Chain A
Amino acid sequence: MSVLSDTTGLLDRIALSSRQQQWLRLLVLASGIGFLALIPAAGGGFNPVLSGAAFVLLVISVLIPDSNAPLGLVLYLGGLWAVTVPRTLGVELLLAAVVLTALHVACALASYGPPGLTLNASFLALWWRRFGYCVGGAGLVWLLSRALVLFDLPASGLALGAALVLVLGWVTVLTVRLART
């Protein structure tokens, strides 16, 4: 039975969720809304239809963070950014990366166990550090991108090819590692 079609089970899970899980779901919601709010701030404008669809996905992700709905949401938000926001390396981009990471991490923490689970404070502290590493990675790429923009390098087929090889290499690694399990 689908998680969405089993409404009774879904409502039970929400009703039985611990205070911490409720806060994490709230964080997912706040992060999603924050990301949608950053799109117009970054110069992307506001499209009610596209934002409405994102909001629907967001609500589903809040209700079932342990499903693949957050994957669809992250992909949709990334696509929305790519479609609506012009090429930018402003502070809004870094903020968008931070809230997207927060959404992703909150979903991860909310999906750790059954309703009623409360994670240890030390474990949350560990994840807080991990959140920092992820945001640090985004910050590093953001700084590198800004530095490269300053050099105003010409377009290079070699660089594009190398980047594509890198991405495809990563895809291969993932395919092998995930398929093996």
Chain B
Amino acid sequence: MATESWRPTTTLVRAALASVALALVSVVTGRPDLLVLAAPLLVHAVCSVARRPGAVPEVRSRLAHETVREGEGTTLDVAVDGGVGAEYAVLAVTLRRWLAARPASGVVSGSVVDGRADLSLPVASLRWGHRGMGDGLVAVRSAWSGYELGPIPTTTQPLTTLPVPGRFDSRAASPHPIGLVGTHPARRPGEGNEFGSIRPFQPGDRLRRVQWRVSLRTGALHVTSTVAEEDASVLLVVDSGVEVGVSGGVHGHASTLDVAVRAAGAVAEHYLVRGDRVGLRLLGSTHRNAVPAAAGRRHLRRVLETLAHVVPGEHPDVDPSRLRFQAPAGSVVVVFSAMLSQTAVVATTTLAARGLDVVVVDTLPADVQVSEDDRRRELAWRMRLLEREELLERVQRVGIPVVAWRGPGTLDEVLRRLGRRAAMPTLARR
């Protein structure tokens, strides 16, 4: 890093040279009026030179929060310390895409008091992701704008923006609850709240379970049995290999990946709050592309942070045969994809072939912006849509339901259907 030092400003040079020139001409030509014109500049130059600063201040910057949600704000705090003789500090921050500041120019300033100036810039992140924030320049001026220091570059701070999970709710139970305790009615009898059947009394049954009406009618003691309630395992697969559409941030149009990431966040939040286990797998990411299934609110944060690190199209040509999903038997797999690539289709059909319940959530928004008055691009997009229809048909032919993301209730119908299918008798090979 280059050593910064104070140097005269154009203001001081102007005041000094103009005052000297006018004063010299005034003396030589005997024109006191020129001395009157030179006087204010002379006052300025004398005051500037007399208050020349000595120490070089130190600049430190930090973000108030390293992790925010989409649309949320934080502050970039820059401290200019040790600037004895400094009077005013100016900070100009480079605003990358999806970052907004107040003021919008990203330029703030403040007076240096006792050698210290604290500059604070409120910033907001408008889209999920992991990006640098706070790289900018600081300039400091001495009293009377005589000397200036800088611009001194400020260090970039990492800012993680978690996706704001879309609104989601599901009343449908998991088709294959496989855990110990939870909220999903299982197929085996056990202690729970869901009605199972009325059966003859057996030793060990609790007296409060006795069904008196049936017992009186039949003359034999009967009890109400319940089914066990278990937790479910949900694997979320997000296709990040392809992104279509122009993202307008949290308040604008959504791209396919925006929909996928926010929908995955919403589903993860829904199931984790209910006590289920949720895992995550990213198709098309080279690092941090898997989160093992676990439960708890802390795990939700982990899932959202992994989603925030998604880089669109980072590794679009991933080999589906080498993917390891680590989904335990009985898991429900929800694939968030616009189904525009073979990789997503192969991964989906592979998971279904393993006997897992797979649901595809179509993340292509209805108002996706692709072509901008370009006929060739429009034509290409229409051809792509035809290819997509063919891929969707391939997926549906192997019995995988495809639903468009519409927030609450998106998965209800398909999960109920999968539940009914799971309860039906199946043919087995002998």
Residue A5 is within 8 A (CB to CB) of chain B in the complex: no
Give the chain A neighbours of B24 by CB distance below 8 A: 167
Known: A113-B109, A122-B111, A174-B45. A145 touches B34 (CB 8 A): no
Contact indicator A167/B11 (Cβ below 8 Å): no
| Inter-subunit contact A104/B32 (CB<8 Å) | no
Complex Cα–Cα for A134 and B18 (A): 14
User: In the complex the two chains form, is B90's CB within 8 Å of A112's CB?
Assistant: yes
Q: Is A141 an interface residue (CB 8 A)?
A: yes
Contact (Cβ within 8 A) A145 B14: no
Number of A interface residues in the complex (CB < 8 A): 62
The answer on a CB contact under 8 Å between B36 and A94 is: yes
Q: Is the CB of B20 within 8 A of A167?
A: yes
Q: How far, in angstroms, from A130 to B47 measured CA to CA in the complex?
A: 10
Interface residues of A in 120-165 (CB under 8 A from B): 120, 122-123, 130, 133-138, 140-142, 145, 148-149, 155, 160, 163-164
**Residues in B neighbouring A113, C-beta threshold 8 A:** 90, 92, 107, 109, 139
B379 at the A interface (CB under 8 A)? no
Contact call A137/B39, Cβ cutoff below 8 A: yes
Bits for B2-30, please: 1 = Cβ < 8 Å to A, else 0: 00011111111111111111111101111
B259 within 8 A of A: no
B interface residue count range (under 10 / 10 to 19 / 20 to 34 / 35 or more): 35 or more
Which parts of A60-107 form the interface with B (CB within 8 Å)? 66-68, 70-71, 74-75, 78, 81-82, 85, 87-89, 93-94, 96-97, 100-101, 104, 107
Residues of B within 8 A of A89 (CB): 32-33, 36
Q: Are A81 and B49 in touch, CB under 8 angstroms?
A: no
B379 to chain A, nearest CB (A): 35
Contact A104 B40 (CB under 8 A): yes
Residue on A nearest B7 in the bound complex, by CB: A181
Are B110 and A78 closer than 8 Å at their CB atoms?
no
Bound-state Cα–Cα, A171 to B46, Å? 11
Chain B residue numbers with a CB within 8 Å of A118 are 103, 107, 109
- Asked whether any CB of chain A lies closer than 8 Å to the CB of B124, the reply is no
CB-nearest residue of chain B to A145: B32
Q: Is A49 an interface residue (CB 8 A)?
A: no
Q: Are B10 and A88 in contact (CB under 8 A)?
A: no
Contacts of B90 in A (CB 8 A): 112-114, 117
Q: How many A-B residue pairs have CB under 8 A?
A: 178
Nearest residue, chain B, Cβ from A144:
B32
Contact A112 B105 (CB under 8 A): no
User: By the criterion CB–CB under 8 Å, are B23 and A170 in contact?
Assistant: yes
How far, in whole Å, are A174 and B17 apart by their CA atoms in the complex? 9
Q: Which of A97, A123, A133, A140 contacts B37 (CB 8 A)?
A: A97
Q: How far is the CA of A163 from the CA of B20 in the complex (A)?
A: 12
Check A101 against B40 for contact (C-beta < 8 Å): yes
Q: Is the CB of B44 within 8 A of A134?
A: yes
* Given known contacts A82-B29, A135-B40, A167-B27, A71 and B14 CB-to-CB distance under 8 angstroms: yes
A34 contacts B by Cβ under 8 Å: no
- Does B144 have its Cβ within 8 Å of any Cβ on chain A? yes
B32: nearest residue on chain A (CB-CB)? Answer: A145
**Within 8 Å CB of B37, what residues of A?**
78, 81, 93, 96-97, 100, 138
Is B297 positioned at the interface, with any CB of A under 8 Å from its CB? Answer: no
Q: Is A22 an interface residue (CB 8 A)?
A: no
Is B353 in the interface zone, CB < 8 Å from A?
no
Partner among B8, B25, B35, B106 whose Cβ is within 8 Å of the Cβ of A145: B35
- CA of A18 to CA of B19 in the docked complex: distance in angstroms? 30
Shortest beta-carbon distance, B277 to chain A, in Å? 50
**Beta-carbon contacts of B292-319 to A below 8 Å, as 1s and 0s?**
0000000000000000000000000000
CB distance from A163 to the nearest CB of B (A): 4
Contact B23 A167 (CB under 8 A): yes
Tell me whether A181 and B111 are in contact in the complex, defined as CB-CB below 8 angstroms, given that A94-B36, A112-B90, A138-B39 are known contacts.
no
Query: In this complex, what residue of A is CB-closest to B34?
Result: A82
Cβ contacts under 8 Å, B34 to chain A: 78, 81-82
A76 vs B337: C-alpha distance in the bound complex, in angstroms? 69
Q: Which of A74, A97, A130, A177 contacts B52 (CB 8 A)?
A: A177
A115 at the interface (CB under 8 A from B): yes
- Assembly CA distance A66 to B147 (angstroms): 13
Contact in complex: A133, B32 (CB < 8 Å)? no
A91 to B139, CA, bound (A): 40
Query: Which chain B residue shows the least CB distance to A90?
Result: B33
The minimal Cβ–Cβ distance linking A157 to chain B, given in whole angstroms, is 12
B23 touches A133 (CB 8 A): no
Question: Which A residues are CB-close (under 8 A) to B39?
Answer: 97, 134, 137-138, 140-142
Nearest CB of chain A from residue B104's CB, rounded to whole Å: 8
Contacts of B47 in A (CB 8 A): 130, 133
B109 and A74 form a contact (CB under 8 A): no
Known: A117-B105, A167-B24. Contact between A71 and B13, CB under 8 A?
A: yes
Please name 14 pairs of A and B residues whose Cβ atoms are closer than 8 Å in the assembled complex, sorted by A.
A74-B18, A74-B41, A78-B34, A88-B33, A97-B36, A111-B9, A116-B107, A118-B107, A122-B111, A149-B32, A160-B30, A167-B20, A170-B23, A174-B20
> Besides the contacts A18-B103, A81-B33, A134-B41, what 9 more A-B pairs have beta carbons closer than 8 Å?
A82-B25, A87-B32, A88-B33, A89-B36, A104-B11, A104-B14, A112-B141, A118-B103, A178-B13
